[in-house]
Amino acid sequence: MSNETISTQLRHRTIREFTTEDVSDDILDTIYDVAMQTASSRGLQHCGIIRVTDPALRDRLTEIGRQEYVRRAPVYLLFIVDAARNATILREHGRDEAAAARTQVFVEGFTDACLMAQNVVVAAESLGLGANYLGNIHNDTAGVIEALNLPKLTFPVVGMTLGWPNQDPQLKPRMPKHFRVMENGYQQQENWTEALAEYDAEMTTYYDLRDANRRVDSFTNQVLGRLTTDHDPHDESLQVARAQGFDI
């Protein structure tokens, strides 16, 4: 059971290094059309895209993301919650703007921005482009807001770089789907480390091109290494949403 679309999706890999070739306006226009056609909660269209072309802003975003390759990517898109437009519409009609600041709006806008981002990734990959999600904007969410001068009732959700691939990474192994697709409730394992032993072994056969000279660690060791209780500025991202005026 496959087709062109599904083959594209099953070949998904993060692409971090791109050729210097530009992505044409024609292609970007198509990608934006796809973005617009994405499902939108209650049809309210409270999310959007900010393309960042200004070199100084790209430098600032690279600094925040702490990923040097972000600077070199031909296209940088930031997906945002945008409740500011609908708040303005409310005000223009003498209504209370607070209705656009509610948790429901934030959750919907955040969800919709993510759906839009993934729709863009699939469209881009179907054209041969590579994509890289940038969750690292939340290293300093407030810094991103300040750099791009984002108004109240907007919020950065996820960044993305696009371009023509200049690398050909392996497919990254995923844990078996029966661990992540459940039926009628949550299926616990008696011991997750044991249940994932085979997957752990498979993961160590994978080479991450960010450090191509060594194999990566097992999945469970990645969990131990990446999930720590050290202070992390990511943890302030929802406080920043409150500072942006969302009543969450």
Shortest Å distance, C-beta 74 to a second copy:
15
Query: Binders of a second copy among 213-242, rule CB under 8 A?
Result: 219-220, 222-224, 226-229, 232, 234-238
Q: From CA 49, how far away is CA 75, in angstroms rounded?
A: 12
Q: From residue 41, how far is each of 33, 107, 185 by CA, in Å?
A: 18, 10, 26
Residue 99's Cβ-count burial label (10 Å; 0-12, 13-18, 19+) is middle
Helix or strand (DSSP H, E) at 126: helix 103-126
Nearest partner of 219 among 238, 194, 242, judged by Cα: 194
Shortest Å distance, C-beta 19 to a second copy:
19
Shortest Å distance, C-beta 231 to a second copy:
10
**Given candidates 59, 68, 135, 146, which one binds a second copy under the rule CB under 8 A?**
135
Query: Given its phi and psi angles, is residue 45 left (phi above 0), alpha (psi -120 to 50 degrees) or beta?
Result: left
CB neighbours (10 Å) of residue 45? Answer: 16
Shortest Å distance, C-beta 24 to a second copy:
8
Shortest Å distance, C-beta 180 to a second copy:
4
Residue 71 near residue 59, CB atoms below 8 Å: yes
**Does the protein bind a second copy through residue 12 (CB under 8 A)?**
yes
Taking residues 154 to 193 in sequence order and writing x for each that binds a second copy by CB under 8 A, - otherwise, the string is x--xx------------xx-xx-x-xxxxxxxx-xx-xxx
**Given candidates 63, 126, 142, 166, which one binds a second copy under the rule CB under 8 A?**
126
Query: Binders of a second copy among 47-66, rule CB under 8 A?
Result: 47-54, 57
Nearer to a second copy among residue 114 and residue 166 (C-beta): 114
Tokens matching residue 131: 């994509």
Residue 16 near residue 209, CB atoms below 8 Å: yes
Taking residues 191 to 210 in sequence order and writing x for each that binds a second copy by CB under 8 A, - otherwise, the string is xxx--x--------------
Helix or strand (DSSP H, E) at 203: helix 197-203
Nearer to a second copy among residue 7 and residue 19 (C-beta): 7
Number of residues counted as binding a second copy (CB under 8 A)? 118
**Does the protein bind a second copy through residue 99 (CB under 8 A)?**
yes
**Does the protein bind a second copy through residue 45 (CB under 8 A)?**
yes
Residue 172 near residue 206, CB atoms below 8 Å: yes
**Does the protein bind a second copy through residue 211 (CB under 8 A)?**
no
Nearer to a second copy among residue 68 and residue 192 (C-beta): 192
The strand ranges marked E within 54-153 are: 75-82, 130-134
